[in-house]
Structures are given as C-alpha cells and as structure tokens.
Structure 1
Amino acid sequence: MAQWVEAGLWGLAGGGALVVGALVAWFVRVPRDVVAVVMAFGAGVLMAAAAFELVDEAEQTGGLLATAAGFCGGAVVYVAANVVLARYGARHRKRAADQPSEAQQAGSGTAIAVGALLDGVPESVVLGVSLLGGGGVGVAMVVAVVISNVPEGLSSVAGMKQAGRGPGYVFGVWGAIAVASAVSAALGNVLLDGASPQVVAVISATAAGAILAMIADTMIPEAYERARLYTGLCTTAGFLTAFVVERLG
C-alpha cells in the first residue's frame, strides 16, 4: 500500500469518528444532560491532545516562535469564523435563564463543526507527516483524535437536530469534514516530505490554537449550562484519560 494512501486512511479514521458521533446523536435520543457531560469530557480530551500531542511536540521540533505563530493563528481564524456565524444570527451562547432559539441551537452545532474542521485538517496533516521516514502513526495520537471527535460529532449534531436541520445538511457537513481529513492527511504525506520542522510546527500549533479557542468559546459554556457542577469533573476526567493514553502509548 502506498504511504499516502495509508495516511489518507488514518485521516479518514479520525474524521470518521465525527460521523460516528453524528450517527449516534441522530438515531438515538440522547438526553441533553448526557450530551453536556460528553461535551465536557471531550473538551478535556481535546485540551490534553492540544497540549501534549500538538503544542509540546511542535515546540520541541520547530521552536517557540513557529509554535506561537501557528497557535495564535489558529485561534484567530476560529474566532473570526465564529464572529461571522454570530453576525448571521447563529449566536450559540445564551443566558442560563433563556430558552435556546433554533438559531442559537444551530449556531452551537455549527460553531463546533467549524472548530472540528479547523483543528481536524491540520491535525490530519500531522498524521500524514508522521508516516514519513518509515515512522508509524502514534497510537496515542489516533486514540486521542477518536476519543475527542466522537463527542464533537455528538454534541454538534444534537444542537443541529434540535434546530430542525435535515439529515442531508447534518451528514453532508460531517461527511465533508471526514473526507477533508482524509485528503489532508494524504496531501500532508506527499507535499510535506522534506518540509522544515518549522513548517510542521506551525501546522500542528494552528490545530492546537483552533482547538483551545473552540473549547473556551463553545464547548465549555454549552456544557456548563446543562452539567453545571459536573462540568469541571467531566473535563478533568477527559484530560486525565487522554494524558494517560499519551503516556502509555
């Protein structure tokens, strides 16, 4: 099997976890409290993946400057995309005492989908690059991607479904993100063969920046409105789970 094909399959596996979460949310009536708990757990997993699998490795290989540039860039791009969504009425945040409107519910789901795309593409590129030189994809990285992507798909589709989005829209969005992940991994393997460590560091840190911005702006606020006091515990559990997987991998 060609290496770029293998890279594409790994990217598809990571992106496919988003579709799995979407399928669960679409066909199973998951209580909102459960969605909130899963979202909080996924936020913790994403934090650990960003810190240990992306930022730390980026700094070690490409240096602090490249890492900081990519990290800030990823956050800025995500926030800018979220501002555009808000401007068109898809504001995902709401006061705890308010009832969510359809636009707010759709906005929450769409914001998470945007975050999944912005972190999933560079994350998949990193997976493809990791195969260069005969190296294998790190088990810890793949597990972290899958563990975090399932809650992302679940929580996002739950909001889209409640807002009345049809299956064509929902699965079109997540299917496209899964395909984009596969293509990104394959292209990363082909185009970044021989690329400087600084370039790879910027790509990895960009994913981390988008992840952290999404967690702070979307996942934690949404989870807290339902899970309340359990949010911190669930997020901590997710972080610890990903950290243990990374250390044992």
Structure 2
Amino acid sequence: MMASLWFGLIASSALVIGALIGVRFELPKRLLAILLSFAAGSLITALAFELFEDAYQQGGIVRAAVGLLAGAIVFTALSAFLDRLAQPGRTSKSKPADEVQGSPKLDTDAAASDRAATSASTRGAAGMALLAAVTLDGVPENVALGISLEEGSGGLALLAAIFVSNFPEALVGASSMRSQGRKAGSIMLLWSVCAVLLVAAVVLGAGPLSSAEPATISLPLAFAAGAVIASLADTLMPEAYEHGGPAVALSTAAGFVLSFTLSLV
C-alpha cells in the first residue's frame, strides 16, 4: 500500500509542479509543444505495454476491445463538450480542415511567452475545461497504475507517462486560469485537489480493485487505454504538431524510447 501511495504522489506531483510554474512563468511556445509531444510518446508505450496488453491478458480480446472502445467514446464525447465549454462560439464544420486549430481547452497560448492568450483563456473556461479533462483521463490511468503495482508488473513506464503528460497539461491549465485573473492560491488549490483525487485513484487500484477477478480488472485497464488513445488523437498530438511543427516527431520518439526503457526495468 505504501508503494502505491508513493507512486501516486510522484505521478500527481507533476500537476502541482506544472500549475506552480504556470502561475509564475511564461514559456516559449515551441518548448510547450515539445513537452506535449514527449508526453504523447510516453503514453504510447504505456497504453500498449502497461494498459491494453494487461487488459487482454486479464480478460481476453473481446473484453479488452469493448473496454478500450468505451474509454475512447467516453473521453471523446466529454472532450467535445469541454471544447464547447472552453470556446462556445467555435465550430469546425464551417472551416476547411487546414484552418481548424487544436483543442480550445488546451490553450498553450496562455502559457507561452510569445503569444497572447485566447478569449477562452481570458474567460478562464479553457483552464477549467482542461482541469476536468485531466481528471477524467487521470482517474482510470491512476487506477490502472495501482493495479499494475499490486500485480508486481512494475508500472514504471505508466508512472513516467502519467507524470510527463500531467506536467504540461497542468502548466497550460494554470496559465489559462491566471490569464483570467484568478489568484495564484485559488489556482494551486484546484490543481492540488485534482492531484489528491488521482493519488486516491492509485490507492484504490492497489487496494480493493487488486483483489477483484481478472475479468473485472481487465475493464478499467482497457478503459484507461481507450481514454489515452482518444486524448492522444484529440488533444496532445494535434496541439503539439500545430505549435511545434515536424520537429515534434523527434521528441515523441524520445518519449516513447524512455518510457519503453522504463517498462523493461
């Protein structure tokens, strides 16, 4: 149990660190894109070797596939809702594909030193939407982390992936809230509460869920994998490429290699 608590604290500390930097500093746009793409590469390893593979081994391909599709559908639907919340007037149907920008909730302009924040950020909607998205995506991921620890499968790759994905999202979200004029203490409190919730999810995965039947464990693992895939396609990769260009391919590869190396430990 102590191991799960420590892993949860390490994974969720990225939220607090990212939020702290977000309320105090502004970073270059390209650096933010590199951080996002590095996180995407790490998550690819985690979902393939820590989440979906375990889900398949625990419950078979049908249960794993159903759980994955459910996670992807739920995340995509809620992500679309959060995008509308972050920028109510935004519609992509009337725009050509090459003019559609990244997800409004992940407004990296708010955290960049070389761009002005969007209207969604100055209203604070983007920051709150991103906080909700991190919680939605993070709960199944952290439950899966707890389960992997209790099973003795290590979980280092998943831990690294969660950490490096939490950091830029919290940084951007806190910056968006700062652009609205929220006080630093209020911003830090919101992200700290989110961090505590995700620590509890790790403990839950290592505790009550660890003794469940393998077929039961398969579902949250696959659901988390589906949520990760959806977040990669919906938010992280498009946003990273939009602001970082082709160079983000290298940082994505670096994230994958690091996470895969950790999965071998």
Task: Sort the TM-score into its range (normalised by shorter chain).
Answer: 0.7 to 0.9
Distance 1:218 1:201 in 2: 25
Distance 1:163 1:43 in 2: 28
Alignment correspondent of 2:202: 185
Alignment correspondent of 2:84: 87
Letter in 2 for 1:124: N
Residue by residue over 1:134-173, the C-alpha shift from the partner in whole angstroms, topping out at 9 and shown as x without a partner, is x475333323332332233234334444455543553233
Could you tell me how far 1:233 is from its partner in structure 2?
Answer: 2.2
Alignment correspondent of 2:4: 7
The 10-residue stretch of structure 1 (228-237 or 5-14) with the greater mean CA deviation from structure 2: 5-14
In the superposition, the TM-score normalised over structure 1's length comes to 0.83
In the superposition, the TM-score normalised over structure 2's length comes to 0.78
Instruction: Report if the CA contact (8 A) 1:50-1:212 is conserved.
Output: yes
Do structure 1's residue 73 and structure 2's residue 61 form an aligned pair? no
Do structure 1's residue 230 and structure 2's residue 247 form an aligned pair? yes
Alignment of 1:13-32 (within 5 A): 13-32=10-29
Unaligned 5+ segments in structure 2 are 93-98, 102-115
Alignment of 1:67-146 (within 5 A): 67-90=64-87, 95=100, 101-103=118-120, 109-132=127-150, 135=152, 137-146=154-163
Q: How many residues align?
A: 243
Query: Alignment RMSD, CA only?
Result: 2.8
Distance 1:139 1:211 in 2: 17
Instruction: Report if the CA contact (8 A) 1:112-1:214 is conserved.
Output: no
Distance 1:6 1:245 in 2: 17
Alignment correspondent of 2:214: 197
Question: What is the percent sequence identity of the aligned residues?
Answer: 36
Could you tell me how far 1:54 is from its partner in structure 2?
Answer: 0.7
Residue by residue over 1:212-247, the C-alpha shift from the partner in whole angstroms, topping out at 9 and shown as x without a partner, is 111211122222221112122222222222122212
Letter in 1 for 2:15: L
Letter in 2 for 1:33: R
- Give the secondary-structure state (helix, strand or coil) at the position aligned to 1:192: helix
Instruction: Report if the CA contact (8 A) 2:147-2:205 is conserved.
Output: yes
